[in-house]
Amino acid sequence: MRCRVEESNHPVRFRDHSLSGAAKTLWVLFLVFLPFLAAFVYLIARGKGMTERSAAQQRRAQEQFAGYVQSVAVFDATAPTEKIARARELLDAGTIDQAELDRLKAKALA
């Protein structure tokens, strides 16, 4: 999974932009002094938001991947009759032999 790094003056980045800085500070202090209780409270109180952010990130990654696949995919829209005609021209020119023509015809019709 790729992580995008942004330059910032802040040493720690939080993914949840809906919490104020004071609330984030309280969560960190709570985690330092009562780590297990704080983790459970956070999961209960903020679990839905974590799920939504994770789902949004997954959607963006999927859209980016789909765009990449479409950009590198090669579509062969040539009709089989055109492929066979081109193979016949190559046979007439002496570039390929009859066995190769038969193989190309079978491939075009497959």
The predicted-structure confidence for 65-89, as pLDDT tens digits, reads as follows 988 888 777 666 678 888 888 889 9
Give the helix, strand, coil percentages of the chain, each rounded to 5.
Answer: 70, 0, 30
d(CA 40, CA 46) in angstroms, rounded, equals: 10
* Residue pLDDT, tens place only, 31-57: 888 888 888 887 888 788 888 888 999
Predicted local distance difference test score (pLDDT) of residue 5:
45
Domain ranges of the chain: 21-72, 80-109
Contact 80, 108 (CB under 8 A): yes
